[in-house]
Amino acid sequence: MMLTNPKQSLQIDAFTSKEWLETNETGSYASSSLVECHTRKYHGLLVAKLQAPYGKFVLLSKFDEQVLINDSYIPLSVSQYLNALDARGFTNFNCFDLAANPCFRYVCNGLEITKELLFLNSKNTLLIKYRIQQPNTNAKLLLRPLLAYRSYHALAKANTNICSTATLLENGVTFSPYEEMPKLRLYANGPFSFNAQPYWYYDFAYLEEKARGYDYTEDLFSPGSIELSFGEQQEIILACSIEDDLETDLAKLWHDEIARRQAFAKQATAKEASLWQQIKHHLGFRDRTANLLAILKQQASPQLFVNPNSNNAAIVAGFHWFTEWGRDTMISLPGLTLYSGLEKVCLQILSYFASHEYQGIIPNRIAPLATDSDELDAVDASLWFCWAVQQYYSKTKDLTGIQKNLWQTLKNIVYYYRKGTLFNIKQAANGLIYAGSPEIKLTWMDVKINNLALTPRNGAPVEVNALWYNALCFINQLAEALQDPIAKELAPLIPQVKKSFVEVFWNAQSDCLYDFVNEHESNAQIRPNQIFAVSLPYSPLELKMAQAVTNTVRQHLLTPYGLRTLSPQDPAYHAAYEGDQTQRDTAYHNGTAWPWLLAAFGEALLKTQGLLARQRARKILQPCLQALWQHVTAQAGLACVSEIFDGSAPYNARGCIQQAWSVGELIRLIQILQ
């Protein structure tokens, strides 16, 4: 799969508004715009996840790059400064390709230069390959490394504490800007010349941060200049690394990583070959739907895993600025693993989170350091965990694996949610789950401003209780299969919860469900949370109610890119997610559209559209899949699915450029529609 953006007569904004992302399955990444003009403080060539100090740090921001041929300089770099745009490199920029890895092409006076980036799997090492079309013994590559060495949430400023000393290596150089930070090693597969010329570059400007209301200027330190000769060769490979024991055969490292990616893509394509034919022939889907699924599985999905083959496997909620979160992991897990042939990884991740369960609560964030505590402020993460286990069982029928690794955790969730646990989470006399207070954010609509929850939803949230009913039914199913006595406890509770759910949440006036209920109100705002009462494997609703809920959601909330979080007819609706943090947070769950909700909506359609449900569901959702294919291939992050979109036209992509539950649930949606 190749994505190409030829320059032709386009303005530079067409390329700085789109981004690429490279990851390495450790949480580290490299990312920038298509012309490597950074627009975010989160952009950088080596953004490493470290253990000491803990966090993600932009170490190597970028290079100032030029190719020198016969006394003629060809600039490749583009940089935005506070009062000027240095776009000299854009005059030579030809196009950006994304196949197995990002590739930039430059053309000057008939000479073609390519630059490719490759992040090595499980290593904090970025390889950069420069190639000229025709050998030229006079051709040289001139580089100035620009170092940030700061948290990816912060910005660097010129200071006198930085160490400018460089240590020469064979074919390379090492920098140690700050004592507590890792050393940066730069080395090439050929003659390497370094000239120490330390100075600061001032006032880089990151315009996305400016638009978001943050500080947006940064100073970057350059310890000197690097000169590399092409000689008789057409290419140079440069390694940028903080590893201590990396192999020095860079050509082999490059070849092995490309081979690994190609093997993964080939395997996925082989597995899915028959599916593509079903989608294109039997379902009437256009080729783009199959292509969308291929991009999601082969490129987007692998970027989101952390340590997938270990006992602490996890999923990054989103790039650039999110980390590994429990709720997001459980929602995205089935699509990223079970629908992608990674059942073992699914069980590993479920087991890892199960080992951190405390009083029935699956952490919303597992503490990365032994000195910290897990974050348990989520009423729904445990119930999404039950759903993820349910999806695992549905796909694998692995009752033994569940009994060994997950069964006690499932029973603990039921026990503590019934008895009462942290954050006032408890079962009421009517069997429903109530939780929280106006000051505590426990559902996925969790934004607070000045310590005030914008969508508090304390009491009984509708999706929490839909998940609760589904969890009880599923755990009862397992209990009967395992002949566990808990089945006798659940048998009378399940019909009680079903009856109470309808009595408490049905809003006859609007023909849908209340969003949450507490002692003060039955909240009648039309939000997407009610769709889970229809979509989950076990639904507490009769068919006519389920149909009414689905129709209401479709009428008020469906957009080409996801479900809105609030009806446009509501006075609190915000059409666009823009402005400073307060303005954005106000809109976050009051109108923005979320792609991940489309999977639940698709399941609801399949349940409620009668004998021709599958054909009708495809017809309704086909415009969404077409729009999202266009998004993945030409907007925001290429080969990525954004976190959110504006709720009204033109539905601009917002938030994280790569969101785990957006990717996972779209993979699941396409495949449940087959």
pLDDT in tens, 32-48: 999 999 999 999 999 99
Q: Specify whether the CB–CB gap between 604 and 549 falls below 8 A.
A: yes
Q: Specify whether the CB–CB gap between 333 and 349 falls below 8 A.
A: yes
Question: From the centroid of its chain, how far is CA 60?
Answer: 22
* 386 phi/psi in degrees, rounded to 5: -60, -40
User: What is the pLDDT, as a whole number, of residue 453?
Assistant: 85
Q: Specify whether the CB–CB gap between 229 and 171 falls below 8 A.
A: no
Inform me whether the pLDDT recorded for 457 exceeds 60: yes
Average pLDDT of the residues of the chain: 94
* 3-class DSSP state of 604: helix
Inform me whether the pLDDT recorded for 495 exceeds 80: yes
pLDDT in tens, 558-606: 999 999 999 999 999 999 999 999 999 999 999 999 999 999 999 999 9
User: What is the pLDDT, as a whole number, of residue 276?
Assistant: 47
Query: How long is the chain?
Result: 674
pLDDT in tens, 92-103: 999 999 988 999
Inform me whether the pLDDT recorded for 110 exceeds 60: yes
User: Half-sphere exposure (CA, 13 Å, Cβ side) for 269?
Assistant: 10
User: What is the pLDDT, as a whole number, of residue 279?
Assistant: 46
Q: How far is 402 from 390, CA to CA, in rounded Å?
A: 10
Per-residue pLDDT averaged across 71-96, rounded? Answer: 96
Q: How far is 562 from 298, CA to CA, in rounded Å?
A: 22
215 versus 269: the higher-pLDDT residue is: 215
- Decide the pairing of beta strands 54-69 and 72-75: antiparallel
Q: Which residues of 301-318 are buried (b: 16+ CB within 10 A; e: fewer)?
A: bbbbbbbbeeeebbbbbb
Among residues of the chain, what percentage have pLDDT more than 90?
Answer: 86
pLDDT in tens, 131-145: 998 878 889 999 999
Q: What's the N-to-C CA distance of the chain in angstroms?
A: 22
Residue 283 pLDDT class (50, 70, 90 cuts): very low
Inform me whether the pLDDT recorded for 240 exceeds 70: yes
Q: Specify whether the CB–CB gap between 175 and 146 falls below 8 A.
A: no
Domains of the chain: 3-248 (2.70.98), 259-672 (1.50.10.10)
Beta partners for residue 300, in sequence order: none
* 632 phi/psi in degrees, rounded to 5: -65, -30
The residues, any chain, with a CB within 8 Å of residue 244's CB and separated by 6 or more, are: none
Angle between helix 326-336 and helix 343-354 axes, rounded to 10 deg = 160
Q: Specify whether the CB–CB gap between 260 and 656 falls below 8 A.
A: no
pLDDT in tens, 144-157: 999 999 999 999 99
User: What is the pLDDT, as a whole number, of residue 674?
Assistant: 85
Beta partners for residue 315, in sequence order: 305
**For 135, left (φ over 0), alpha (ψ -120 to 50), or beta?**
beta
371 versus 544: the higher-pLDDT residue is: 544
**For 266, left (φ over 0), alpha (ψ -120 to 50), or beta?**
alpha
Q: How far is 594 from 562, CA to CA, in rounded Å?
A: 5
Q: How far is 34 from 29, CA to CA, in rounded Å?
A: 16
Tell me the one-letter amino acid at 363: P
Tokens matching residue 354: 């199960």
**For 617, left (φ over 0), alpha (ψ -120 to 50), or beta?**
alpha
Q: How far is 164 from 16, CA to CA, in rounded Å?
A: 31
Closest C-alpha among 41, 34, 32 to residue 219: 41
Among residues of the chain, what percentage have pLDDT more than 70?
Answer: 96
CA distances from 362 to 105, 158, 338, 351, 417 (A): 47, 43, 20, 11, 12
3-state helix, strand, coil in the chain (%, to 5): 35, 25, 35
Per-residue pLDDT averaged across 314-327, rounded? Answer: 97
User: What is the pLDDT, as a whole number, of residue 241?
Assistant: 98
User: What is the pLDDT, as a whole number, of residue 451?
Assistant: 82
